[in-house]
């Protein structure tokens, strides 16, 4: 059962500095010791940082459920919004709107915080301030951002953090994956140190929302993309809790790389944002770092992996649509209280910096949106980075497990610096294409057109047939996924491009690539892009043959073809030089069928055209 929380909501007069409730002595800092998985996790490093001063005593009138619960619990969906509704009712700075309903009928709520009390996208835009969108619980068990955001909202409207809204607006989604949040229990994330009860990783439909940005299958994701299009944030923050190895960092975060589609945003994030936020975290007693992905979890000396995310992930999607996006990964082995406070400090520092650097941030976004690079990289290869990493790790030993019979890591809890570890990243450009001026999508592919619209990509529709010289791909040798992945059967194929003169029917959709979301359109429509709609299975019917020819008809047809075309006879003779082909009766008959006028001219032809 979830612990019962009893909260008294009283709005007391403010003193010259802090509200009366903030003057009460803070609770004695505690390290969580009541989690069911404590005994099987590596040793917990005792932590006390300056950010503990942000906590209220559980008896304070505006204590959050997290504070009431001794920093070990996170409230249910209903408890969360009972508390937030009271906060909204107490202040003209806050409003709450629904982004839409989940498959199980829950509202995905978003809080709007601005000094002007904006409650619509138009009103928010009229403030002319940059807007930060923070979402928590895309993986509902990784819920630190919800509790941190609740504390921060309280302190902005009732405490000493009001100035954060002077230069920036905040959009806050406390729980993104709302149905998964309510699939709560003590045993949901075995490698995470709190809260006592946590939500589930995937939606009620068992979809992972942080694999869904490009294909946008989940209703929840469609609502979020709609919100991004309507509210137009300048910075997007996605709060997670990581898995993997033990280390000293408690707050790690990353974003797109210099090699990606938003280089100006990368420079702003790397030279302005990271130093500012890391300094704020360190002042409050936290240890920030870049995203941590070990090449081998059992051997840290092999180095770290630098991640160039694709558009199925939040930070990769932000790169593609030129929305600076920060992926926070708090360390799962740090106690819940420490992670929540680190998130609070990071969000507060973000609002402070964005308010100060609004012009430079918006200039970087504009440069990326209207860059229109002539060459687009679709796939990336691995390469060692020039700069190594002095990694703040934890010492460990390895031993052979009597259970598995394999090498197992035993973390000691002792800090250890691993100097100049190699860093391998997928930063070597592999498949690159020339930027087309436009794409055309055949009108019958309604799901594809709908998904492009959900992303906010601008399109026009032909009102009458139009004859054009275009480029079209012929696909061959399709390779289908051996098992389902995220509700879809993925596919990749070899391709060849052919110039064609074709008459496009009325209803065909044109996508101009010289638009702010033109790069995203390219990654969704180029077949070789790993997150293209083709590879996600949206076009799988084109790989199905529906008409055939019987052998008794192929024989006389082949004889007619050879008699009518001597060059075809020469080509067939050459083909017979291949012993495998010559010995395969089926292949020989199919050779003629493919070259006959009876063959399906649309079989394995990609129903999207490029205008070069």
Mean pLDDT of 317-330: 98
Spatial CA neighbour of 348 closest among 535, 132, 175, 176: 132
Residues 6+ apart with CB under 8 A from 294: 244, 245, 300, 302, 303, 304, 305
Rounded Cα–Cα distance for residues 350 and 280 (Å): 10
Of the listed 67, 278, 284, 329, which one is catalytic? 329
Handedness of CA 554, 558, 564, 567 (dihedral sign): positive
Spatial CA neighbour of 522 closest among 336, 322, 388, 330: 322
Given a contact cutoff of 8 angstroms between Cβ atoms, the answer to whether 490 and 481 are in contact is yes
Largest CA distance in the chain: 101
Greater pLDDT, 19 or 57? 57
The two beta strands, 235-241 and 460-461, are: unpaired
Spatial CA neighbour of 98 closest among 230, 237, 236: 230
Provide the pLDDT confidence category of residue 373 given band limits of 50, 70 and 90.
Answer: very high
Residue 34 confidence (pLDDT): 67
329 is catalytic: yes
Average pLDDT, the chain: 93
**pLDDT at residue 439 greater than cutoff 90:** yes
Handedness of CA 572, 576, 582, 587 (dihedral sign): negative
Whole-angstrom CA distances from 66 to 3, 146, 440, 594 are 11, 10, 52, 67
pLDDT by residue (tens digit) across 445-472? 999 999 999 999 999 999 999 999 999 9
Residue 20 confidence (pLDDT): 39
Rounded Cα–Cα distance for residues 99 and 226 (Å): 8
pTM higher than the cut 0.85: yes
Q: Which two tokens stand for residue 62?
A: 């505006």
The two beta strands, 460-461 and 605-611, are: unpaired
Residue 223 confidence (pLDDT): 98
Given a contact cutoff of 8 angstroms between Cβ atoms, the answer to whether 53 and 160 are in contact is no
Residue 354 confidence (pLDDT): 98
**pLDDT at residue 28 greater than cutoff 80:** no
Rounded Cα–Cα distance for residues 584 and 574 (Å): 15
Given a contact cutoff of 8 angstroms between Cβ atoms, the answer to whether 542 and 606 are in contact is yes
Residue 578 confidence (pLDDT): 94
Rounded Cα–Cα distance for residues 347 and 430 (Å): 36
Given a contact cutoff of 8 angstroms between Cβ atoms, the answer to whether 72 and 195 are in contact is yes
Q: What percent of the chain clears pLDDT 70, i.e. is strictly above it?
A: 94
Rounded Cα–Cα distance for residues 207 and 536 (Å): 14
Burial 30-39 (b: 16+ CB within 10 A, else e): ebbeebeeee
β-pair partners for 399? 408
Residues 6+ apart with CB under 8 A from 556: none
Spatial CA neighbour of 131 closest among 142, 115, 146, 149: 115
Rounded Cα–Cα distance for residues 483 and 549 (Å): 31
**pLDDT at residue 6 greater than cutoff 60:** no
Residue 116 confidence (pLDDT): 97
The two beta strands, 235-241 and 325-330, are: parallel
* Length of the chain measured in residues: 612
Provide the pLDDT confidence category of residue 240 given band limits of 50, 70 and 90.
Answer: very high
Given a contact cutoff of 8 angstroms between Cβ atoms, the answer to whether 322 and 368 are in contact is yes
pLDDT by residue (tens digit) across 500-509? 999 999 999 9
Cis peptide before 564 (omega within 30 of 0): no
Whole-angstrom CA distances from 48 to 52, 68, 281, 337, 338 are 7, 19, 13, 10, 8
**pLDDT at residue 22 greater than cutoff 70:** no
Mean pLDDT of 364-383: 97
Rounded Cα–Cα distance for residues 324 and 265 (Å): 6
Least confident segment among 5-9, 587-591, 593-597: 5-9
Mean pLDDT of 374-392: 97
β-pair partners for 471? 499, 610
Greater pLDDT, 17 or 291? 291
Rounded Cα–Cα distance for residues 313 and 254 (Å): 12
Tell me the three-class secondary structure of 225-254, residue by residue. HHHHHHHCCCEEEEEEECCCCCECCCEEEE
Rounded Cα–Cα distance for residues 326 and 328 (Å): 6
Residue 33 confidence (pLDDT): 54
**pLDDT at residue 136 greater than cutoff 60:** yes
Residue 551 confidence (pLDDT): 86
**pLDDT at residue 24 greater than cutoff 90:** no
Q: Which two tokens stand for residue 64?
A: 């959050």
Residue 113 confidence (pLDDT): 98
Mean pLDDT of 269-287: 98
Residue 601, Ramachandran bin (φ over 0: left; ψ between -120 and 50: alpha; else beta): alpha
Residue 328 confidence (pLDDT): 98
Residue 554 confidence (pLDDT): 87
Rounded Cα–Cα distance for residues 514 and 373 (Å): 10
pLDDT by residue (tens digit) across 109-128? 999 999 999 999 999 999 99
Torsion of CA 9, 11, 15, 20, to 10 degrees: -20
Mean pLDDT of 372-395: 97
Whole-angstrom CA distances from 316 to 11, 28, 58, 254 are 43, 41, 39, 11
Torsion of CA 189, 192, 196, 200, to 10 degrees: -30
**pLDDT at residue 3 greater than cutoff 50:** no
Greater pLDDT, 3 or 333? 333
pLDDT by residue (tens digit) across 528-585? 999 999 999 999 999 998 887 888 888 899 899 898 999 999 999 999 999 999 999 9
Residue 18 confidence (pLDDT): 40
pLDDT by residue (tens digit) across 204-218? 999 999 999 999 999
pLDDT by residue (tens digit) across 160-216? 999 999 999 999 999 999 999 999 999 999 999 999 999 999 999 999 999 999 999
Residue 243 confidence (pLDDT): 83
Rounded Cα–Cα distance for residues 333 and 41 (Å): 8
Spatial CA neighbour of 543 closest among 495, 610, 597: 495
Provide the pLDDT confidence category of residue 1 given band limits of 50, 70 and 90.
Answer: very low
Rounded Cα–Cα distance for residues 235 and 570 (Å): 63
Tell me the three-class secondary structure of 153-215, residue by residue. HHHHHHCCCHHHHCCCEEEEECCCCHHHHCCCECCCCCCCCCCCCECCCCCCCCCCHHHCCCC
């Amino acid at each position: 059962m979830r612990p019962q929380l009893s909260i008294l909501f009283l709005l007391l007069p403010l003193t010259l500095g802090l509200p009366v409730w903030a003057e009460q002595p803070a609770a004695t800092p505690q390290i969580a010791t009541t989690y069911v998985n404590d005994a099987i996790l590596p040793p917990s490093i005792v932590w006390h940082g300056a950010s503990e001063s942000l906590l209220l005593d559980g008896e304070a009138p505006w204590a959050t459920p997290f504070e009431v619960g001794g920093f070990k619990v996170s409230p249910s969906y209903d408890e969360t919004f009972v508390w937030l509704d009271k906060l909204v009712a107490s202040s003209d700075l806050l409003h709450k709107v629904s982004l839409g309903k989940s498959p199980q009928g829950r509202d995905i709520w978003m809080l709007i915080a601005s000094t002007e009390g904006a409650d619509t996208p138009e009103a928010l835009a009229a403030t002319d301030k940059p807007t930060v969108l923070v979402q928590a619980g895309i993986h509902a068990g990784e819920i630190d951002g919800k509790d941190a955001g609740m504390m921060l909202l309280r302190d902005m409207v009732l405490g000493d953090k009001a100035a954060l809204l002077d230069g920036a607006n905040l959009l806050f989604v406390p729980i993104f994956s709302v149905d998964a949040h309510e699939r709560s229990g003590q045993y949901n994330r075995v490698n995470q140190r709190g809260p006592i009860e946590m939500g589930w990783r995937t939606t009620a439909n068992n979809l992972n929302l942080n694999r869904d940005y490009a294909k946008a299958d989940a209703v929840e994701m469609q609502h979020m993309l709609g919100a991004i299009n309507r509210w137009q944030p300048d910075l997007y923050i996605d709060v997670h809790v990581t898995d993997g190895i033990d280390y000293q960092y408690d707050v790690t975060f990353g974003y797109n790389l210099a090699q990606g589609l938003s280089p100006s945003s990368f420079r702003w994030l790397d030279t302005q944002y990271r130093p500012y936020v890391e300094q704020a975290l360190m002042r409050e007693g936290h240890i920030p770092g870049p995203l941590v992905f070990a090449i081998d979890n059992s051997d840290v000396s092999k180095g770290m992996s630098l991640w160039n995310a694709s558009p199925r992930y939040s930070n990769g999607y932000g790169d593609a649509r030129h929305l600076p996006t920060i992926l926070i990964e708090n360390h799962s082995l740090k106690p819940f209280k420490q992670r929540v406070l680190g998130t609070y400090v990071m969000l507060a520092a973000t609002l402070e910096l964005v308010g100060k650097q609004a012009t430079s941030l918006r200039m970087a976004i504009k440069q990326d949106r209207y860059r229109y690079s002539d060459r687009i990289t679709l796939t990336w290869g691995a390469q060692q980075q020039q700069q190594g990493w002095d990694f703040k790790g934890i010492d460990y030993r390895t031993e052979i497990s009597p259970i598995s019979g394999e090498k197992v890591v035993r973390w000691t809890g002792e800090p250890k610096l691993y100097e100049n570890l190699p860093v391998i990243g997928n930063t070597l450009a592999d498949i690159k294409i020339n930027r087309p001026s436009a794409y055309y999508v055949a009108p019958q592919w309604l799901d594809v057109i709908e998904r492009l619209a959900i992303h906010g990509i601008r399109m026009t529709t032909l009102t009458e047939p139009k004859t054009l010289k275009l480029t079209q791909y012929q696909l061959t040798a399709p390779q289908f996924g051996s098992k389902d992945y995220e509700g879809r059967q993925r596919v990749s194929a070899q391709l060849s491009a052919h110039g064609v003169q074709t008459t496009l029917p009325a209803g065909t959709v044109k996508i101009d690539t010289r638009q702010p979301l033109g790069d995203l359109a390219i990654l969704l429509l180029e077949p070789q892009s790993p997150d293209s709609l083709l590879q996600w299975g949206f076009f799988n019917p084109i790989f199905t043959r529906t008409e055939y020819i019987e052998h008794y008809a192929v024989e006389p047809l082949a004889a007619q073809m050879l008699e009518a075309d001597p060059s075809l006879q020469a080509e067939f003779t050459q083909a017979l030089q291949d012993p495998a082909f010559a010995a395969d009766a089926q292949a020989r008959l199919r050779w003629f069928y493919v070259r006959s006028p009876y063959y399906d001219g649309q079989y394995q032809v990609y129903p999207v055209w490029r205008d070069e």
